[in-house]
Structure 1
Amino acid sequence: VEALPTDVTVSCDAIPTAVVLTATDNCDASVTVNYTEEFSGQEEGCASEYTITRAWRVQDCAGNETSHMQILTVEDNEAPTLVSVLEDITVACDNVPEVPTLEFTDNCSSNVTQTNFEETSTFDGSDSDYTITRTWTVTDDCGNVADFTQNIAVTVNTTVTELADSRCIDDGTIDLNDYLANQSEDGTWEVTQGSVTISDDGSFDPSGLNLGDYIFTYTSPNNGCLIATKVTININDDCIVLPCGQEDVVISKAVTPNGDSWNEFFEITGVESCGFVANVKIFNRWGAKVFESNNYANNWNGTSDGATFGGAERLPAGTYYYIVILENSGLKPFTGAIYLGTK
């Protein structure tokens, strides 16, 4: 009696309900339409694409039969969608978030598989801001692929450590790399004050220079940020021959402030009679300064002076790095590692 449904192609999440058909007969007053439905063509791994065959059949009491068939071709052409929130953000270089774990869903497939993740960065080691691009690629059971991208605009910060030294004009070649502690080798030196030329290896000859302060800055990349050492060297002509040499200086290898009277403090010995003033800086393994003294008195026992931790406190055991400058000694800066223990 009703209009017969035609063959259609439908999305896997929009399959229409079967039409209810009725029939009449010229002789048989009571005829019933029988409805059947069959599924076929389902591919392995892709459960949301198949064929539905719907059949309506009616027969009167004399065996006269009428039937109608409708074929529905079910397709899955829609890619997965993102459930999690993923937004473009702007952060400082030392606050870049970890890669998040995202949740995806699909209109038909029960499984959504992440097939690829890629992260690229435009960081070039300079102080220019840059962009990190993260891209997730996912697919559903029927091979529909979607990409989801997050752009992170990163602002570059530079952590600066400042050092000062005095050198005599007749000291000979000065190697600026002697002032570096726990800083990568892929940085560059530049002259930020004074008329002086430094070599490619970071050294210069002070002879012939005008007396005064010269400032040199070494900048290198550090996990997407920059770390810099700013060295101010006073070039003077106060060349004094002292009875103390580089080989006379003895610097502690370990500090164990546990009350047993051994290695309680970080000590610089061997040149007490020379009257040198020791400038000491101590850094942790990330390059953060944890202690500084411009007139060191052999009294550091593993506490932070507040430069890193916001207040004096006992530092954790581990390896730290020092720079020792003996003012007016004519000696090169001393650098090395110091082990801090608690037992």
Structure 2
Amino acid sequence: STDVPAMISLTANDNCSGEITVQGQDSTVPGNCPGSYSITRTWTFVDACGNSASVSQTINVSDTIPPVAPTAPADVTVSCGGQIPEMISLTANDSCSGEITVQGQDSTTQGECPNSYIITRTWTFTDTCGNTSNSIQLITVSDDTAPVLASALETEVNAVCTAIPPVPELTFTDNCGATVTVVYSENTGNQTAGSYVIIRTWTVSDTCFNTATFTQTVTVSIENPLTVIAKTICINDEPVNLFTLLPEGTAQNGTWSSPNAGTALEGSIFNPHQVALGNYIVRYTISDGDCPKVFEINIEVHDRCIVLPACSITVYNAVSPNNDGYNDVFFIDGILCYPENNVEIYNRWGILVFSTDGYNNTTKVFAGVSEGRATIDRGAELPDGTYYYILKYKDEKGTNFDKAGYLYLNR
């Protein structure tokens, strides 16, 4: 309506003299909406004798300009677990008078996964003549957070092989409330002579492929992983089933091996006929189960197959100082016949750990305790393992003798 031209002045001519009056008048016909109508503008001319004539102009007024939409709120990105902004009220301006209606509406476009989508928020402004304009805001909803642990998990655990804790039952939650998929795996590694490690792994993922990993490391100590057994066999003896030397109840699903017995060892049977005189090591390994064990049998094959005289020296080279009354000390049979003697014991690195004169199996005796004077603490219990002894003794005639060999210590 602001574009409607103003009424102008028109002049008429008359065939007679006299004043001519003119009157301009608008008449309006409403259109199909408040901002649309038709104006008929008529100028009427009257002469002094009352004769009249008129001319008309038609002005059509229409509203085709939509409201001026306001600026929409800025586009935002939120997590599915975050707060989606609420719809707010916006106001538009229109070039024509009249009420402007506004309608806010959200439409959703699904993304690559259930909790990823885009909300298109549209405000539509409509004037009284049906002209419309829009303001649009994009709200991007994403799920980029992996599930989290909802229960307690002890990540580092120490245990003995006879009491390994069970796998904990864990619970996980997702910030978007999605279904959590859990994949559990378990690996055993880093096995040493006395321990190994169990690594428990939980891999969790949600419906938008976000993944997280949780682990528990169980360090397992093996109780008594190595048992040393000494056995003396005459080269003329019949083959020996080594299972008879193992503790009663030992599982028989292990593996026999030897670094030096060769064909003398067939399964659990050791045949002394097939080896030369000397010392042989046979190992029986039980690797399955929670408590793997190794039994090491130290076999001395000799040719002394007759009864020794009363003062012959016999060295019993297995010591188990556990106070059970059996092999608690390093026992040298016949040593009392030779009071002028010396016994030295060395560890695997050649360090002297015990030395005494007048060894007598009682007051002067090796019981697995260090008598060292240098790098080994005096009075300390020595670790299980293989040691080396040197025995020197003199008979009544002053003749010197010596004897040496391996000594096996196992508590």
Scaled to the shorter chain, the TM-score interval is 0.5 to 0.7
Name the counterpart of 1:154: 220
Maintained 8 Å contact 2:179/2:207: yes
Name the counterpart of 1:78: 145
Q: Distance in 1 between matches of 2:229 and 2:165?
A: 32
Does residue 1:35 correspond to 2:104, yes or no? yes
Maintained 8 Å contact 2:253/2:286: yes
Deviations 1:290-339 (A, max 9, x none): xxxx9xxxxxxxxxxxxxxxxxxxxxxxxxxxxxxxxxxxxxxxxxxxxx
Q: Distance in 2 between matches of 1:110 and 1:208?
A: 73
Name the counterpart of 1:92: 160
Name the counterpart of 1:221: 287
- Residue identity matched to 1:80: P
CA displacement at 1:142 relative to structure 2: 2.0
Does residue 1:6 correspond to 2:95, yes or no? no
Q: Distance in 2 between matches of 1:40 and 1:232?
A: 77
C-alpha spacing 1:35/1:42, structure 2 compared with 1 (3 Å): same
Q: Distance in 1 between matches of 2:97 and 2:219?
A: 78
- TM norm structure 1: 0.52
- Residue identity matched to 1:49: S
Name the counterpart of 2:115: 48
Q: Distance in 2 between matches of 1:83 and 1:219?
A: 42
CA displacement at 1:112 relative to structure 2: 0.8
Name the counterpart of 1:118: 185
Q: Distance in 2 between matches of 1:157 and 1:81?
A: 37
Name the counterpart of 2:205: 139
- Residue identity matched to 1:118: S
Query: Within 5 A, what are the aligned runs for 1:1-343?
Result: 4-23=72-91, 25=93, 28=97, 31-41=100-110, 46-86=113-153, 87-114=155-182, 116-122=183-189, 124=191, 127-158=193-224, 170-180=236-246, 181-188=249-256, 199-201=264-266, 203-205=270-272, 218-229=284-295, 237=305
Gaps of at least 5 residues in structure 2 are 1-68, 308-325, 327-411
C-alpha spacing 1:29/1:20, structure 2 compared with 1 (3 Å): farther
Q: Distance in 1 between matches of 2:213 and 2:129?
A: 62
Deviations 1:104-161 (A, max 9, x none): 11111421112x332111155x514222222222221122222222222222222678
- Residue identity matched to 2:72: L
- Residue identity matched to 1:224: D
Q: Distance in 1 between matches of 2:235 and 2:79?
A: 84
- Residue identity matched to 1:98: P
Maintained 8 Å contact 1:123/1:224: no
Maintained 8 Å contact 1:117/1:135: yes
Gaps of at least 5 residues in structure 1 are 240-293, 295-343
C-alpha spacing 1:68/1:93, structure 2 compared with 1 (3 Å): same
Identical aligned residues as a percent: 31
Q: Distance in 1 between matches of 2:121 and 2:230?
A: 89
Deviations 1:174-222 (A, max 9, x none): 332343454244344679xxxx968443525289969xxx997644324
- Residue identity matched to 1:33: V
Name the counterpart of 1:259: none
Maintained 8 Å contact 2:184/2:200: yes
C-alpha spacing 1:164/1:5, structure 2 compared with 1 (3 Å): same
Larger CA deviation: 143-152 vs 23-32: 23-32
Give the secondary structure class of the aligned counterpart of 2:292: strand
Name the counterpart of 1:314: none
Maintained 8 Å contact 2:256/2:282: no
CA RMSD of aligned residues (A): 4.1
- Residue identity matched to 1:34: Q
C-alpha spacing 1:169/1:238, structure 2 compared with 1 (3 Å): farther
Q: Distance in 1 between matches of 2:124 and 2:140?
A: 21
Deviations 1:26-61 (A, max 9, x none): 665865532111223256xx3212221111123344
Q: Distance in 1 between matches of 2:281 and 2:76?
A: 80
Q: Distance in 2 between matches of 1:97 and 1:164?
A: 36
Maintained 8 Å contact 2:194/2:225: no
Maintained 8 Å contact 1:25/1:60: no
Q: Distance in 2 between matches of 1:208 and 1:139?
A: 64
